[in-house]
Structure formats: structure tokens, C-alpha cells
Amino acid sequence: MRIIAGSRKGHRIAAPKGEKTRPTSDFVRETAFNLIGPVDGATVLDLFAGSGALGLEALSRGAARAVFVESNRAAGRAIEQNLDRLRLRGTVVLQDAVKALQMEAQAGRRYDLVLVDPPYRMLADLMPRLQRHLAAVLAPDGLVVVESDARDEPLLEGLAVRTSRRYGSARLTLFEHE
């Protein structure tokens, strides 16, 4: 895996060993950022961060700050190593994504870009719990990007679908405020 574009283009990203994480492929990441558009100066919340590939890509492309939420310790260490090696600024939060999202909402923090890439098999159970807080942490002109299995079409109450597209076995759905 590597950074696709921006200041760290071509640099490799370390991923935790094992099958606990499923890093977003280079192709899907590139496509996601083509749909998202410029992220210069953006604040980013990367939920279910895994290797941190999505958030790292945003930082390389000019995002000002990223918070990576991951419950797996090995994955959290991989994100920290990637941040150090790439000399990018970010915060790693080792916590359950739903709980972290709830805490961010309660603290009144807002993000321009929220990346949601849970294990595909967990998406249906997670979406109702996530949607309670996603609109609250999303900045007025912000985007939520959900990566899911291509067969799933996630919906978030209180947010409108900007676009939803299939790429092989993955689907990217972008949401914005209604």
C-alpha cells in the first residue's frame, strides 16, 4: 500500500499483520478522493482507521488535522508508525468507534471529512448507532464517506446521499447535510 497523491505521494504505508483489518485498496482510495475533491485545510475523523490509509491520504493531500479512531492496538501502533515515518500530524485514539464518535459529538467537535470504513459484516449493526452522532460532528459543508460491501447501500438518517458508487467488491457512499 502507498500514498496516492499529495506531499507524500508514493510513500509506503505499513498495515498491521493478520486479518483484523482490511486496508482500503489504492484504487478505491484514489477514487474516493476524486469524489471528495480538495481537502486543503480540512479536519478529518477516520473511524475504524485500520492502517490509517484513508486519513493519511487526506493529510498528504493537504488536510490540516486528522484523528484516527481504532480499537485494535496493533493497528493503532501501525498508524502511529505511519504518522512518524511520513512526518504527518495526527492523533490516534484507541477506542471503540461508536464511543469515540459519541464523545466527539458531546465535546462539540466538528469535522470537514468523516471517513467510516468498518468491517463490512458489521455495517448493518453499526449504522443505527453511528447515525445518532454523525450529523452532529459533521461541519456544515462537510462530507461523510462510508466504505461498504458493494451489495450494501447504507443510509444515514439526517444526512443526504451525495453519491453512491460501486468499485469491484466495494461501495463508496458520500453523505452531506440535507
> What's the CA gap between 109 and 117, in Å, rounded?
20
CA distances from 124 to 6, 50, 84, 163 (A): 33, 19, 34, 19
pTM: predicted TM-score of the whole model, two decimal places: 0.93
- Would residue 129 count as lying in a domain? yes
CATH of the domain at 173: 3.40.50.150
| Statement: residue 2 has pLDDT above 60 | yes
| Whether residue 18 has pLDDT greater than 70 | no
Q: Which domain holds residue 113?
A: 26-177
The closest alpha carbon to 116, from 88, 72, 147, belongs to: 147
Flag whether 19 is in a domain: no
Average per-residue pLDDT in the chain? Answer: 92
Query: What pLDDT sits at residue 157?
Result: 87
In a domain, 134, yes or no: yes
Cell numbers linked to 5: 497523491
How far is the C-alpha of 115 from the C-alpha of 144, rounded, in Å? 6
Residue 163 counted as domain residue: yes
Whether 46 is covered by a domain: the verdict is: yes
Identify whether 136 is part of a domain: yes
Convert the pLDDT of each residue in 152-171 to its tens digit. Answer: 989 898 899 999 999 888 99
Give a yes or no: residue 4 inside a domain: no
Q: Name which residue leads in pLDDT, 20 or 145.
A: 145
Do residues 72 and 21 lie in contact, with contact meaning Cβ atoms separated by under 8 Å? yes
- Residue 172 domain-assigned? yes
In this prediction, residues 11-26 reach a mean pLDDT of 72
Give the total residue count for the chain. Answer: 178
Q: How many domains does the chain have?
A: 1
Q: Report whether pLDDT(29) > 90.
A: no
